[in-house]
Amino acid sequence: MGLAEYTSCPFVAPKTTWIDKRGKKREVPMRLLCFGLSRTGTASLRMALWELGYNPHHGFAVFENPPDATLSNEAMKAKYEGKGKKWTKEEFDALFCDRDATLDQPGNLFVEELVAAYPDAKVMITVRDVDSWYDSVKKTILDRKPNAAAIFLSIFDPTISLIFSELLRSNTLLYGPKWWTRTREECHEIWAKHLKKVRDVVGEENVFHFNVKDGWEPLCEFLGHEVPRDEDGQVKPFPRVNDAASFDRVMAEYLSKVAVRRLAQGGAFLAAVVAVGFAAYRFRR
């Protein structure tokens, strides 16, 4: 049981799996590399790509298949901590074996490597107003309370431990060791440096900048697809999901149900301990 079974989250696969992809071979060509930072509409883009027939990897994919976290952690440790073999196309092919696009984390931490591995893939960045991006990041990724709740639950739940080891490592690499203290100005600098890196690696003229507010037309023109229409010939609404409030609701629902399951398994003492710790998240405001 995972995020898909515990919540009504629309941008994750409907069933949690537990597949070790180590050594897997690529099943489909990689068509799209999106290096946009989290909270730039990547979840909405994922749903749009589903509509267009893609099967994109996204940061939330680790909730869909938790063993992916082991591989992602290995990749991050090798590149950023000098521990283990640095990843090449062979390793990325295994992690993304059945994916033809990659969005969000951890892909946006491997710009040079993924461009080298998949030179024929199109490259894009999701963008938005940088101040509204910071406001969203501050309420979600950089909010210490839900992360603290997850870390606490990790003591009792190995799946939570595995998933959040990857999420917290990627957060640390993007925003620094004390990511929860990042100011607006510091995040503006992180944003600017990341976009510059993508443009420098690929060439600005080869990067498509996409704001999900612009809808289907620019995206479909870039990808070479027709704009999706319903049976009456009307343009389908562009997906709009995972705003800060929705993110908060999904995480609260997921973590609370994991806590309840562990309480039922662990007895009264564990119930008391977890209840105290989990209150830090449930009464966050």
Q: Are 179 and 172 within 8 A, CB to CB? A: yes
Whole domain around residue 194: which residue ranges?
A: 3-282
Give the pLDDT of residue 272.
46
Q: How far apart, in Å, are the Cα atoms of 217 and each of 85, 115, 124, 248?
A: 41, 25, 15, 30
Rounded CA-CA distance 120/114 in Å is 11
Burial 253-267 (b: 16+ CB within 10 A, else e): ebbbebbeebbeeee
Q: Based on the structure, what is the number of domains in the chain?
A: 1
| Residues sharing a CB contact under 8 Å with residue 151, sequence separation 6 or more, in sequence order | 164, 168
Paired tokens of 161: 């431990």
* Residues in a beta bridge with 32: 101, 122
Q: Over pLDDT 90: what percentage of the chain?
A: 71
231-268 per-position pLDDT tens digit: 999 999 999 998 878 888 888 888 888 888 877 876 54
Model confidence at 227: pLDDT above 90: yes
Q: Which CATH number covers residue 204?
A: 3.40.50.300
The overall average pLDDT reported for the chain is 90
Paired tokens of 153: 């639950």
What's the mean pLDDT in 146-165?
86
Place of tokens 């105290």: 276
- Give the residue, 269 or 220, on which the prediction is more confident: 220
Paired tokens of 37: 């930072």
Model confidence at 11: pLDDT above 70: yes
Model confidence at 80: pLDDT above 70: yes
pTM for the whole structure: 0.90
User: What single-letter amino acid sits at 161?
Assistant: S
Least confident of 14-28, 60-74, 145-159: 145-159
Band (pLDDT 50/70/90 cuts) for residue 270 is low
Can you give the three-state secondary structure of the chain, one letter per residue? CCHHHHCCCCCCCCCCCCCCCCCCCCCCCCCEEECCCCCCCHHHHHHHHHHCCCCEECCCHHHHCCCHHHHHHHHHHHHHHCCCCCCCHHHHHHHCCCCCEECCCCHHHCHHHHHHHCCCCEEEEECCCHHHHHHHHHHCCCCHHHHHHHHHHHCCCHHHHHHHHHHHHHHHHHHCCCHHHCCHHHHHHHHHHHHHHHHHHHCHHHEEEECHHHCHHHHHHHHCCCCCECCCCCECCCCCCCCHHHHHHHHHHHHHHHHHHHHHHHHHHHHHHHHHHHHHHHCCC
User: What single-letter amino acid sits at 126?
Assistant: T
Query: Which one, of 10, 277, 272, lies nearest residue 146 by Cα?
Result: 277
